[in-house]
Amino acid sequence: MGGQHASWCRGAAWGRPAEAGSPQQSLATAAADVVVLALPEDHRPIAEAALEHGAHVVSLSDDVADVRALLALDAEARERHRSVVVGAGFSPGLTCVLARHAAGGLDAVEEIHVAKSGTGGPACARLHHASLRGPGIDWRDGAWLQRRGGSGRELTWFPDPVSAQDCYRAAVPEALLLVPAFPGVRRVTARVARLGAARVEVRGRRASAQEVHVLGVVDRPAVAAGAVAAIAAGWAVEGRLARHGAAGLAELVAEPVDLLRDLASRGVKAAAFEGAGG
């Protein structure tokens, strides 16, 4: 987040930024295959205009209201055979891919817990601080729960050099994107640290045994978010996403290893937690 315009790419080639005037007006004259939204907020009107002009949409927003509004475009995007990639940044975004990857070795996913630390830019930082004052969104046993922002302090281990950070409930949209991607999941939570890193813990069963898979990443959030959005845009144009419609990357990426490999080629590398610490 934190950009001030929408960017376009045709196929694999990145094009020019928006011209003067509203992004919707620019869309009327741009032969865009995909529109990447890096505005601080209010992505839905531009996403609707992009769909009307036959473009895929990739949104980096981590605002709860934005995410809900974009997910509501699912039917329209499916009807137009286009993809709206929702929350295609650091977290949500890369965390959704890590959740999909961590779940790959399980027969059933029961719990997903996401934590993140760091911000990507001034607009992202403002939203981060505001999120600690808003209600957290948890999923527990088939029901949505709202928890007071800033509560629920939990010491969470991230990859070095970030290491352990106190994380708190906050108004972040991870659960809204992960619950639809993992039918039957019992619990989904998300917390943020006050102080870049992200961690995803997936709990479930393999045969009769309980397993916990933990993945993490340390990088500058703005750099990682840009890489995720760029790859998502390319995949949308190339038809590599799992389906059309509006959803998060945990739902739209069938082969997370391929996306993580693309990220690694851009210097954004995930790591698995092993041994003590958790």
Architecture of domain 6-89+224-260: 3-Layer(aba) Sandwich (3.40)
Residue range 80-90, pLDDT digits in tens: 999 999 999 99
Task: Give the pLDDT score at 161.
Answer: 83
* pLDDT tens for each residue of 162-181: 889 999 999 999 999 999 99
Q: Phi-psi category of 221—alpha, beta or left, where left has phi over 0 and alpha has psi -120 to 50?
A: alpha
Contact criterion met (CB below 8 Å) for 2 and 38: yes
Q: State pTM to two decimals.
A: 0.86
Task: Report how far residue 193's alpha carbon sits from residue 230's, in angstroms, rounded to the nearest whole number.
Answer: 26
Residues 50 and 77: beta-carbon distance below 8 Å: no
Collapsed DSSP state (helix, strand, coil) of residue 68: helix
Q: Show me where the domains of the chain are located.
A: 6-89+224-260, 94-220
CA distance 241 to 85: 9
Query: What is the spatial distance between Cα 105 and Cα 126, in angstroms, rounded to a whole number?
Result: 37
CA 262 from chain centre, in angstroms, equals 16
Give 118-166 pLDDT, tens digit per residue: 877 777 878 888 888 899 999 999 999 999 999 999 999 998 888 899 9
Which pLDDT score is estimated for 130?
85
- From the list 224, 251, 234, 269, the residue with the least C-alpha distance to 99 is 251
pLDDT at 1 over 60: no
CA distance 258 to 219: 19
pLDDT of residue 278: 44
The CB density around residue 252, as the number of other CB atoms within 10 Å, is 28
The two three-digit tokens of residue 193, written as one number: 């640290």
In the chain, % of residues over pLDDT 70: 87
Cβ atoms of 74 and 45 closer than 8 Å: no
- Given pLDDT bands bounded at 50, 70 and 90, which one contains residue 273? confident
Q: What is the pLDDT of residues 199-221, one digit of tens each?
A: 999 999 999 999 999 999 989 89
Find out whether 106 and 205 touch, Cβ atoms under 8 Å. Answer: yes
For residues 178 and 251, the answer to whether their CB atoms sit within 8 Å is: no
Structure token pair of residue 250: 């945990």
- Those residues whose C-beta lies under 8 Å from the C-beta of residue 53, and which sit 6 or more positions away, are 27, 28, 30, 32
Using one digit for the tens of pLDDT, what is the confidence trace for 60-117?
Answer: 999 999 999 999 999 999 999 999 999 999 999 999 999 999 999 899 999 999 999 9
Token pair in block for residue 162: 């970030």
Numbers of helices and strands, H then E, in the chain: 10, 15
Question: Which architecture characterizes domain 94-220 according to CATH?
Answer: 2-Layer Sandwich (3.30)
Residue 182 near residue 249, CB atoms below 8 Å: no
CB-based contact 203:182 (threshold 8 Å): no
